[in-house]
Amino acid sequence: MDGILPLYKERGMTSNDCVFKCRRILKSKRVGHSGTLDPNVDGVLPICVGKATKVVNYLMDSGKIYIGEITLGFATTTEDLEGDIVEKRKLARMFTAEEINKAMLALTGKLIQIPPMYSAIKVKGRRLYDYARAGETVERPQRKIVVDYFKQVNTSTFDMEKGQQKIYFEIGCGKGTYVRTIAVDLGKKLGVPAVMSDLTRLASGGFTIGQAIKLDDLKKAAADGNLEEKLFPADHALKKFPHHVLTETQWRIVQNGGFLLPKYLRGDERRPVIVLMYKNKARALYRFNQEKERYQPEQMIDLTEGEN
């Protein structure tokens, strides 16, 4: 069984929990996810199965969309509600929509982000959350991220008694972005402690939440023998690249990992990466070697002869 499953990850589960359960339901060992979601976050989690695991990185390169809630007035160790409160400050007044919009705009575009201590990033062979749980500190690597947009989607609310304000947002961002860190940084722009208090992933890997299937529904599909209908082809992750349909001769060359000359592909165009198709399936990605003026294998996906 090969393909991409847009899974709806429910809260309380880790992304690896989802992979484990999908392996059992799909009866396949070759299962992997394309971007971690924290246990307290729900939403779209694309799962790659079989030969489609070879395109996981291309799914991860696609943009993601989230909606959520930021609370101004306190901060935690984990930057979300799972951690201990490390700072609390009662707001003297409610920030205006204009002030919030200005701060949000400053957090868009190409940014440098330092991942939170409670994250799965590895430093010197250990996860950052392992350092954090042991009470140890370590220098965290800076990461380049891209935030396409960051905006309010509802009127913010203010709790006068607690001195806290809730901001309701939507964000479109690239891979590697920690939205909870964006929430904390928004607070810094406004001069107050902040925490991400709610988050849902609406889109990832070209899939929307409306396409996502719950584990219970996946189990039912397995019982009914309809699992194949829930899977998208591996090519779904490769839509942004130009495609070329192989001739029989070219297919034999590709099966043996051979190179292809550009004059026989897409009218002599030099594209950085192309997807090679045969019998309606994505078979390989080839990258153009400018020095040698030819296309060479970058990622083999499916070199089997049959269509199924």
Q: Which positions are catalytic?
A: 38
- The neighbour count for residue 36, using CB atoms within 10 Å, is 15
CA distance 187 to 99: 11
CB 57 within 8 A of CB 32: no
* Residue 144, both tokens: 């380049």
Burial letters 14-30, b for 16+ CB under 10 A, else e: ebeebbebbbebbeeee
Name, in order, each residue with C-beta under 8 angstroms of 192's C-beta and a sequence gap of 6 or more: 72, 73, 89, 91
Among 258, 259, 254, 249, CA closest to 281 = 254
